[in-house]
Amino acid sequence: MAGSQIERVFSVLESLTREPRGLPMQVLAEQLEIPKSAMHRLLAELIRLG
């Protein structure tokens, strides 16, 4: 999945709202075609922001 950072954030949030129990980072990265390192940074920032 190519796209802007904001598109990635919305994709992650949409995916997580469909999975109330959450998803492993690896699975989320594969589903959204985002590199694991980028997914880690994105999730860390979301956690930091609460």
Total residues found in the chain within this entry: 50
**Each residue's pLDDT tens digit, 1-50:** 556 889 999 999 999 999 989 899 999 999 999 999 999 999 999 999 98
Please give the pLDDT value at position 2.
Answer: 54
Please give the pLDDT value at position 1.
Answer: 52
pTM attached to this predicted model: 0.81
- What are the DSSP calls for 1-50, one per residue? ----HHHHHHHHHHHHHT-TT---HHHHHHHHT--HHHHHHHHHHHHHH-
- Please tell me the distance from the alpha carbon of residue 18 to that of residue 41, in angstroms, as a whole number: 21
Q: What is the domain count for the chain?
A: 1
Conformational region of residue 2, where left means phi above 0, alpha means psi within -120 to 50, and beta covers everything else: beta
- Give me the domain span that covers residue 24: 5-49
